[in-house]
Amino acid sequence: MARLRKRRPENVSGPFYVDSSCIDCGTCWQWDPQHFEDHGDQARVWAQPQPGVETARALMAVQACPVAAIGATPALLRQTPAQGFPALITRHPAGEVYYCGWAARRSFGASSYLVVRPQGNVLVDSPRYNQPLTQAITARGGLAAMVMSHRDDVADHERWAEAFGCPRWVHHADRDAAPGAEYCPEGEDPVWVQEGLQLIPTPGHTAGSMVAVLGAANQDALQVLFSGDHLWWNRKHQRLAASQQYCWWSWREQVRSLAKLQHLNVGWLLPGHGDRHCFGPGEWRSHLKALLASVAEP
């Protein structure tokens, strides 16, 4: 629970605040940039929400925070939406995609996603296990599979698998982070979890990093890319980004893996860390080309 005595002085005056226990994971300002922002090595409240929809969204940021570093008055906290998460992102022809919220400290506050589809629902990376989200997923038909993009974002995967009896997918190179996983593809060949949901190994950030692609292989159809920590959108500079600083295995391999995604036609980019982004037709390839040019060796 956030402590008023630990309130960061960088917060603007008002009832919402971030305290000094913040781990700078980005969960709050990625979810609600209208009121939270990155400020140095921790987040802060830069604008207080207005009553109504704005306050409800800020309260969901409180709920999503993996370390309970966001505080508000008791009267406001009592208004927290009971079933705010999962929150709808997009209705794609291959399935409805939701942001799970409830970020887990064990996953460094990474985002996770629920894909609701006729073939069976899929959880992409692991949120914090809790009853409200369990009930919400149950109401949408449970889980048929769980995909883990890489070793960093497995969090409470065992509890989710136990609750729903769903098999888990993780690349063999990262299997030690989830030793009970039922499916562990090897090498770099793409594999299909279900019809219309493909995993592409993208080693680099970790040896076993993978991305998930929702949508038909038809290059004319826009797809949803769940990118883990492979790449993300930089809202400030309005461009795709990847990080050598936060590459835990091989930056050279990560750059090579970026090039493997040029054939995609991404409409939505949904990362583990960093901002999500919606692309118009043809925009994905031009932005990826620019990123590849910026990280190319001289």
pLDDT tens-place string over residues 227-248: 999 999 999 899 999 999 999 9
pLDDT, tens only, 268-294: 999 999 999 999 988 999 999 999 999
Percent of the chain with pLDDT over 70: 98
Dihedral angle over CA of 12, 67, 130, 276, nearest 10: 70
What's the mean pLDDT in 104-111?
Answer: 94
If you search the block for the tokens 């019809």, which residue do you land on? Answer: 195
Three-state secondary structure of 80-148: CCCCCCCEEEEEECCEEEEECCCCCHHHCCCCCEEEECCCCCEEECCCCCCHHHHHHHHHCCCCCEEEC
Nearest Cα to Cα of residue 110 among 232, 225, 240, 197:
232
CA distances (Å), origin 12, targets 9, 16, 47, 56: 8, 9, 6, 19
Nearest Cα to Cα of residue 55 among 76, 78, 26, 24:
76
> What integer pLDDT is reported at residue 116 of this predicted model?
98
- Domains by residue range for the chain, with CATH: 4-77 (3.30.70.20), 87-295 (3.60.15.10)
Token pair recorded at residue 266: 């991404």
3-class DSSP assignment, residue 155: coil
Question: pLDDT at residue 218 above 80?
Answer: no
> What integer pLDDT is reported at residue 1 of this predicted model?
82
Paired residues of 7 in beta bridges: 19
Question: pLDDT at residue 205 above 60?
Answer: yes
What's the mean pLDDT in 213-240?
Answer: 90
What's the mean pLDDT in 208-212?
Answer: 98
pTM for the model = 0.95
